[in-house]
Amino acid sequence: MDVVVLGLGYIGLPTAAMLAAAGHRVIGVDVNERVLQDIRSGCGHVAEPDVRLIANSAVASGNLTVASALPRSANAYIICVPTPTKEHKPDLRYVKQAAEAIAAQANAGDLIVLESTVPPGTVEDIIVRAFETLGKSPDSVHIAHCPERVIPGSIVHELRHNARVIGGRRRLDAEMVRDLYVSICDGEISLTDCLTAELVKVVENTFRDVNLAFANELALLAEAIGVDAWEVIGIANKHPRVNILRPGPGVGGHCIPVDPNFLASKNPFLTELIQTARRVNERMPHVVARLVDEMIAANRTGANIALLGAAFKADVDDTRESPASAVLRLLQERRYNVSVYDPLARDFEYGLCETLECAVSGAEAIVLITDHKLFRDIEPSTLSPLVRRKILIDTRNFLDRERWSAAGFNVRTLGDATPEASYRPKAYSL
């Protein structure tokens, strides 16, 4: 089949590469010339090694080529463009541009699949309407929504193995799209209508946001009561039907903090829990800033604070909607000098220090924001001569408390305000 994938980001590029590996002739289209050059030269812009590997072999096989504009014809068009939000409202302009370009040239029988996460109703409002506006019947083509569901950090594995949902305008549309996706997906594929598929995707991320809010609220509650939230979670999670997530400095990424707003903005009176969860999660960077204030206590103005981590979560390079940005802004408002170290991150809007030593030099406090594995290897005793005060604030309960305490650091972990927190033996069973 001749397949066009529009948008060669985290989802579009691996999807295009997997379709090419399955024997389809794929043209990947992206408006960013740098992205196209990186793919052609084999140093793809998506940092995950598996993505790079399959993209390079797809290009080498000749089955994947990239271009800045749509080819004149194809059998299937897969839309993987971003859907950013502005002031909690989705900006669907890229979906609209893609839909209009496809509608202008699609032939009868072509498949048109929207993978981007969108507010429920978008397939009808934008894609179907793009055909109708041009006087073309949307029934002449097969339109469906097949939302991506993969987690950054494990993209290729999840693309292959995750269950998928395909919502078609008609049953036939969903079936035709399934016939294409079985070539890249071993997971169960559920067929439904467009609106249901749109809601499924947004609901999944909203479910996670609500659960993250519960973990974050629990961290604050435990601090107030005077127990260690991490110990509570560890023990509670031994219950066969309890699975509390990990508290943290905030909920980042381009999906989970964004998608609940797709539901809430159109249904404000039916989404109280969802909106409250968002507020709880949005409060977490403020909690971190307050922890810094508490630990620094006096002479805050101009104090140097070193943040470890700019990426929105562990072991990825993506800094979109990262809690690091929110924490940094709040600390700067409080007149701290903030430096950030993250050897994995790219495109961090506030700039990054080249080395850990540079970031912590003269620091009054080190704040762990992102739980990158490589931060575990930091030897705290080597930082001692560089910092002005030995304070560590661990917002993820990630670093080895005992090792940092042994190096003389006063360790404060989010969710554990018990006075003897640094010294208490952990993991004893009751």
Q: Looking at the annotation, which residues are catalytic? A: 201, 255
Dihedral over Cα of 416, 422, 423, 429: its sign: positive
Nearest residue (CB) to ligand SAJ, 15 versus 117: 117
- The whole-angstrom separation of Cα 278 and Cα 276 is 5
Is the separation of the CB atoms in 394 and 368 below 8 Å?
yes
Kindly list the residues in this chain that would bind ligand SAJ in the complex (CB under 6 A). Answer: 117, 148-152, 204-205, 208, 212, 245-246, 248, 251-253, 255-256, 312-313
Tokens 């985290």 found at:
10
Q: 206 is written with which tokens?
A: 């909203």
End-to-end CA distance of the chain: 60
Q: How many CB atoms lie within 10 A of CB 343?
A: 16
Return the number of the residue (189 or 245) whose C-beta is nearest ligand SAJ.
245
Task: Give whichever of 30 and 148 is closer to ligand SAJ, judged by the CB atom.
Answer: 148
- The residue (of 216 and 271) whose beta carbon lies closer to ligand SAJ is 216
Smallest gap from residue 12 Cβ to ligand SAJ (A): 12
- Least distance from ligand SAJ to the Cβ atom of residue 204, Å: 4
The helices-and-strands tally (H runs, E runs) of the chain is 16, 15
SS3 content of the chain, % helix, strand, coil (to 5): 45, 15, 40
Nearer to ligand SAJ, 138 or 147 (CB): 147
Smallest gap from residue 14 Cβ to ligand SAJ (A): 12
Q: How, if at all, do strands 391-394 and 25-29 pair? A: unpaired
Q: Name which of 13 and 251 has its Cβ closer to ligand SAJ.
A: 251
In the complex, the smallest distance separating the C-beta of residue 131 from ligand SAJ, rounded to whole angstroms, is: 27
* Cα angle: 82, vertex 86, 87; to 5 degrees: 145
- With a CB cutoff of 8 Å and minimum separation 6, the contacts of 425 are none
Cα–Cα distance, 377 to 114 (Å, whole number): 42
| Dist. CA 362–CA 383, nearest whole Å | 10
Structure tokens at 3: 């397949």
What minimum distance in Å lies between the beta carbon of 290 and ligand SAJ?
18
Cβ 403 to ligand SAJ shortest distance, Å: 23
Burial pattern 372-407, b for ≥16 Cβ within 10 A else e, equals: beebeebebeebeeebeebbbbbbbbbbebeebbeb
